[in-house]
Amino acid sequence: MKIEKIYAYPVKSLRPVELSSAEATRYGLSFDRRFMLVKVLPDGVQNIHVTHFPESVLFLPSIRLAEDDDTVDELTITYRAPGKAETSLTFPLFPVASGLGTVDVTMHKSPTQGFDMGAECNDWFSDCYGFPVKLLYLSDNRREILMSNSPNLGSWSTWMSGLLSGDEKSQITFADCAPYLVVSRTSLHDVSKRLPDGEEMDITKFRPNVVIEGADEPWEEDYWAELELGGIKLDLVHNCVRCKSINIDYNTGKPGTDDHGKVLKKLQSDRRVDTGAKWSPVFGRYCVLSQRSKDATIRIGDEVKVAKRNAERTVFGA
């Protein structure tokens, strides 16, 4: 097996950037989910998650890395919505956080602070969404790995803490549940069988970080416990259970109206394989960098080996 695709999501809930290589750290890929958006409410803010704000898929990011000391790494977001003029916003990929205001953010019962990127960014996103929005930057802040939808929160948190050590244990960026999400191209082909002949499911709707090709059988990743790839080891800690976000039409930013808008229901017929989340279908595995691994660069084409397998499927939240 080998790495087929690498994706990072610089701004949470927006579309990904496809990378030929990326630095894999204990907190995730180097560009992954370092920004997020919040809707401004009279009494606080609401996190913008793609499930509840499907129009977020109309924002396409691109990264331009600095060529010399006189330039900075930049992130450009392009907004492409049906019937509207295309518009773009460019800002530093690694802003200077000092002097920026802060906003308290809580995701899955895990709090942190984001740095308010200011009027230019906020006004642009607000105009696109049609309501007041703030763009937040994580900087050096982190979140503990907790899960509000876990039936056994203590077990999850304790188990994850045992995998990691020191000041870095159980910490992530603005990602939901874990630093990495790994999926299998072979399993995607099985998903596509639920669509009309010749149509392929868009793998980016599953929001993976690493796509692996070459697995012998679909869904064998359900039992993977440890992977070796590109000089790192990943512990595959839990299944990724799916929600209605996979039904979104990426051209309209609305729930799909054809068979692509029924993928969640179609998967529920035979992929509700995790007893810890019995109503939700599984696609992909949440991962953390093994305690035995250090930061390293992974590349498309890197060999992938299954170092350990589980005898049974993991149970979400247990």
Model pLDDT for residues 15-47, shown as the tens digit of each residue: 999 999 999 999 999 999 999 999 999 999 999
- pLDDT of 174 reads 95
Do the Cβ atoms of 17 and 10 come closer than 8 Å?
yes
The mean pLDDT value of the chain amounts to 92
Q: Is the pLDDT of residue 147 over 60?
A: no
- pLDDT of 292 reads 87
Local confidence band at 161 (pLDDT 50, 70, 90 cut-offs): very low
Q: Centre a 10 Å sphere on the Cβ of residue 240 and count the other Cβ atoms it contains.
A: 24
> Domain coordinates of the chain in residue numbers?
2-309
- pLDDT of 150 reads 38
- pLDDT of 94 reads 96
- pLDDT of 169 reads 55
What is the distance between the alpha carbons of residues 80 and 15, in angstroms, rounded to a whole number? 11
Pick the closest to residue 112 from 123, 124, 104 (CA basis). Answer: 104
Q: How is residue 222 written in tokens?
A: 């359900």
- pLDDT of 194 reads 95
What is the distance between the alpha carbons of residues 196 and 19, in angstroms, rounded to a whole number? 30
Do the Cβ atoms of 6 and 180 come closer than 8 Å?
no
Q: Is the pLDDT of residue 152 over 80?
A: no
Mean pLDDT value across residues 140-146: 87
Local confidence band at 153 (pLDDT 50, 70, 90 cut-offs): very low
Mean pLDDT value across residues 186-203: 96
Sign of the alpha-carbon torsion through 309, 233, 3, 231: negative
Helix, strand, coil in percent for the chain, rounding step 5: 20, 35, 45
What is the distance between the alpha carbons of residues 136 and 38, in angstroms, rounded to a whole number? 8
Mean pLDDT value across residues 152-160: 44
Element counts in the chain: helices (H) and strands (E): 4, 23
- pLDDT of 155 reads 45
Strand boundaries in 160-275, DSSP class E: 171-172, 180-184, 210-213, 224-229, 232-241, 248-249, 254-255
- pLDDT of 157 reads 46
Q: What is the dihedral of CA 245, 246, 248, 249, to 10 degrees?
A: 160
- pLDDT of 109 reads 87
Q: Is the pLDDT of residue 167 over 70?
A: no
Q: For 231-249, what is each residue's pLDDT tens digit?
A: 999 999 999 999 999 999 9
Range in 68-72, 126-130, 187-191, 252-256 with the lowest mean pLDDT: 68-72
- pLDDT of 146 reads 65
- pLDDT of 68 reads 84
- Give the whole-number percent of the chain exceeding pLDDT 90: 85
